[in-house]
Structure 1
């Protein structure tokens, strides 16, 4: 089963310094029929103006992943971590029993990132932080594993049976992905346009996939993120 999520119909906010599209209910956007997709609770497509960002604030019991699309993200947290990441890099924070952090764009250009929240498989984990500066070419015309569950082999592991992949397809190229029985996936067309099993996707569109293999054919250069996970029973 496939269902397109058109970016034009997503929740949105504009605070001047921060412009966001919400794939699921978040902040002032609330749709009781669009709370989450399995363990996937949040995908926010954020644009942050230079020298602006989120001041120190708390989280708990959530696996939080940031995928940087453009610009630079500078992270600080109550565990003593301070890092700056750029295009194609990934940041992970397991909020667990509680952590505070800030996220700022200290660069000269607009920062675009995907903020992803995944519900953990249990509450009360010890807070953790990690990041990985993936080489961009490692995702060119092939799936690059970014994040996996505890039994996976991606360089970043989270406390949930979920796997994140990225691919950057050249124009008029194609790639396959199997979503097996008992599994589901959520795909974000970050940049470019593509055709997935006959469904056209453009910049910022989403696609729900349940127990169905897909073939992605790029109409233009396409940058895609896919989150594969266990289907709820």
Structure 2
């Protein structure tokens, strides 16, 4: 990779607002609100949910990927291909829905599951790729330690290490855990759209620092025309002890996006076809 010259700054910032929802779901907030596809491209939305067993039972997906980070509680994954696992705090699941996934993601026993789920678009030519799930346990992600903290890399080549996520399109996901006063400069592909979410504590983000506290979200400046091997730098400084920041990045796709219910396609006709295929059993048996 070339030497990073582009210094990232905060573009837009906001704080997540939460709503109570009907049991067995408990509370929901939109980290990345739906409907802002051009600004977030290749990301569709990101939801933060607190829920109990019975909330996200058997359901289908087509045309996109999900990255689910377990903040607290336990999350049980069941898919109709025979997959079943329980993820715990700090674990991540990657799913490529591709042409047709059918799964359930639910709380375990009496746990309240607290998750962040990111929807990541697929380019048109990969909308019907094969469905695939990958569970990433927190202890298996490589860690880069620095003075006063660490960077845990789930996806992409970051901080000199490669994350274990095997995604259909190039993305990065890094978790920063920092003590008060600690500072770290994260290398990201210069042409990746990126955002940061403060899970705990408080952090100054960017070359011209903007402070964000817990529940704060920041989209970041980037250079979409940069070559794929060009890198950029994102500086993060912790202002409180026990600061945790998640940083996601991906290359924009710049295609028409039509998102409706559990499907993300390029046209309304394709959405209607997805519903028809589901009704006709083309997504396979239920996930139970």
What interval of TM-score do these two structures reach, taking the shorter chain for normalisation? 0.7 to 0.9
Which has the larger helix fraction? 2
* Counterpart for residue 226 of structure 1: 247
CA contact under 8 A between 2:76 and 2:85: conserved in structure 1? yes
3-state DSSP of counterpart to 1:217: strand
* Counterpart for residue 186 of structure 1: 195
| Alpha-carbon distance in structure 2 between the residues aligned to 1:39 and 1:12 | 26
3-state DSSP of counterpart to 1:178: strand
Query: In terms of mean alpha carbon deviation, does 35-44 or 10-19 score higher?
Result: 10-19
CA contact under 8 A between 1:21 and 1:44: conserved in structure 2? yes
Matches within 5 A, 1:122-137: 122-135=126-139
1:55 aligns with 2:62: no
1:39 aligns with 2:39: no
Change (3 A) 1:103 1:232: closer
**Aligned counterpart for 1:3 among listed residues 6, 11, 19:** 11
TM-score (norm 2): 0.70
Matches within 5 A, 1:110-189: 110-121=112-123, 122-135=126-139, 138=143, 141-148=149-156, 153-189=162-198
**Aligned counterpart for 1:14 among listed residues 21, 24, 34:** 21
**Larger CA Rg, structure 1 vs 2:** 2
* Counterpart for residue 281 of structure 2: none
Write out the 4+ residue segments of structure 1 that deviate beyond 6 Å after TM superposition: none
Change (3 A) 1:231 1:59: closer
3-state DSSP of counterpart to 2:129: coil
| Alpha-carbon distance in structure 2 between the residues aligned to 1:230 and 1:128 | 21
Over the aligned positions, Cα root-mean-square deviation in angstroms equals 2.6
| Alpha-carbon distance in structure 2 between the residues aligned to 1:33 and 1:127 | 26
Higher RCO (CA < 8 A, seq sep 6+): 2
Change (3 A) 1:177 1:148: closer
TM-score (norm 1): 0.85
CA contact under 8 A between 2:42 and 2:193: conserved in structure 1? no
Matches within 5 A, 1:73-88: 73-88=75-90
* Counterpart for residue 73 of structure 2: 71
